[in-house]
Amino acid sequence: MAENQEEVKMKRTVFLGALTVAGVAAGAAAAATLDDVKARGKLNCGVTTGLVGFAAPDANGEWTGFDVSVCRAVAAAVLGDPAAVEFVPTTGKTRFTALASGEVDMLARNTTWTFSRDVDLKFDFVGVNYYDGQGFLVPKALGVSSAKDLDGAAVCIQTGTTTELNLADYFRKNNISYEPVPIETNAEGQQQYLAGACDAYTTDASGLAATRATFEAPGDHILLPEIISKEPLGPLVRHGDNEWGDVVRWTLNALIAAEELGVSSANVAEMSGNTNNPEVARLLGTEGELGAMLGLSADWAKNAIMAGGNYGEIFAKNIGEETPIGLARGLNAQWTDGGLLYTPPFR
């Protein structure tokens, strides 16, 4: 039956009114975290319970590391102060609850971007700050040279992680068995492994390198050659908090782009006032309105870079080849150097 003009007009009004209400509600939700952080004057950042090189308190209780640097960069971008961060240690089990409940504003710890975490758990991964893969650490004295030699081995495995699932898949695919030794934290895993409670310790290869670097005799332990998974690690925020997601995403991108563009903590002040590269000028806020688009000051990216340096500086200082961790750039090199680091344009 055809509707008369008055009915059509009324339905259109109701529909447009509903869209307006929904839009206002969505906008309020999207702005919530950024407003909260500004009002609080502090960023609450979820980190691991302690992984040297990535996130761990030093002798003075000050948190340092590769992932910690992302937290400090975001604090600097939003609040102008890289020290305005409350670090909240989280385990593989507690990290997602801490983020979903609002206890933390973001997670910056060794968390793998997966389909279910993105879609089912309703989190948004804003990018990848370390391309990793799962490996195995064993004592040299065990006499094995391949993960396929671990049939029947006791393996220390952190619960509530992709590592746990990958391990089961790998052993099943290769028709070998293992005895899981469940652990909650990296510190517990290290303790159990060194005490001989397990024959092997498995987690992200970067984490194994970091853990081995803390041993009294790191040379007595080897990383087996197999990398059995893809582990793209990155910061994440709550799903639907689009404005805040943009802030964290583009802060990470700023650190990566700065390295590509030759902007470092040493020259950022000079380049912000003297550059003939338009993209550098936009990045550092001397041209354009990128900061305003994010709800931040014009010098947001300059502040983020000054906090700890560009991506390359952060990598070299915390986990690079000149550190006890000793990680090569590998996949984490710039795209111009054969790696996977590639950011969208700042324009």
Q: With beta carbons less than 8 A apart as the criterion, state whether 135 and 226 touch.
A: yes
**Same domain flag for 263 and 328:** yes
Question: Is residue 25 within 8 Å of 68, Cβ to Cβ?
Answer: no
Q: Same domain for 320 and 258?
A: yes
Residue 167 lies in a domain: yes
Same domain, residue pair 195 and 268 = no
11, pLDDT greater than 50: no
pLDDT-based confidence at residue 273 (cuts at 50, 70, 90): confident
- Please give the pLDDT value at position 31: 52
The arrangement of strands across the sheet holding 134-139 comes to: 178-183, 153-158, 200-204, 134-139, 221-223
Instruction: Report the C-alpha gap between 347 and 100 in whole angstroms.
Output: 32
The mean of the pLDDT values for the chain is: 91
Q: What is the pLDDT of residue 82?
A: 98
Same domain (yes/no): 224, 262: no
* Torsion of Cα atoms, 235 then 83 then 55 then 216, to 10°: 160
79 and 98 both lie in a single domain? yes
Residue 220 is assigned to a structural domain of this protein: yes
- pLDDT tens digits for 112-133? 999 999 999 999 999 999 999 9
Assess whether 117 and 262 both reside in one domain. yes
pLDDT at 22 over 90: no
Domain final residue pick, 173, 194, 229: 229
Closest to 210 in 3D by CA, of 233, 237, 178, 235:
233
Residue at a domain's end among 229, 263, 286: 229
pLDDT band at 280 (very low <50, low <70, confident <90, very high): very high
**pTM score:** 0.87
**The pLDDT of residue 319 is above 80:** yes
Same structural domain, 237 and 333? yes
Same domain, 124 and 268: yes
Residue ranges making up the domain that contains 318: 38-131+233-337
Asked if 170 and 81 sit in the same domain, the reply is no
Question: Is 6 within a domain?
Answer: no
Distance of alpha carbon 281 from alpha carbon 283, whole angstroms = 5
Q: Are residues 268 and 312 in the same domain?
A: yes
Residue type, 321: E
The answer to the question of residue 43 being in a domain is: yes
> Is the predicted pLDDT of residue 6 greater than 50, yes or no?
no
Q: Is the pLDDT of residue 30 over 80?
A: no
Q: How many domains does the chain have?
A: 2
CATH code of the domain covering residue 177: 3.40.190.10
The verdict on residue 194 lying in a domain is yes
Residue 345 located in a structural domain = no
Is 256 inside a domain boundary?
yes
DSSP 219: G
Statement: residue 18 has pLDDT above 60? no
160 band by pLDDT with thresholds 50, 70 and 90: confident
The percent of residues in the chain predicted with pLDDT above 90, rounded, is 88
Question: What sign has the CA pseudo-torsion 188, 192, 195, 200?
Answer: negative
Long-range contacts of 49-52 (CB under 8 A, 24+ apart): 49/89, 49/90, 49/91, 49/185, 49/186, 49/187, 50/89, 50/185, 50/186, 50/187, 51/110, 51/186, 51/207, 51/210, 51/211, 52/210, 52/211, 52/213, 52/214, 52/324, 52/325
Domain's final residue, options 177, 206, 229: 229
User: How confident is residue 1, by pLDDT bands cut at 50, 70 and 90?
Assistant: very low
Q: Are residues 217 and 241 in the same domain?
A: no
pLDDT band at 205 (very low <50, low <70, confident <90, very high): very high
Does one domain contain both 123 and 238?
yes
Domain-located, residue 21: no
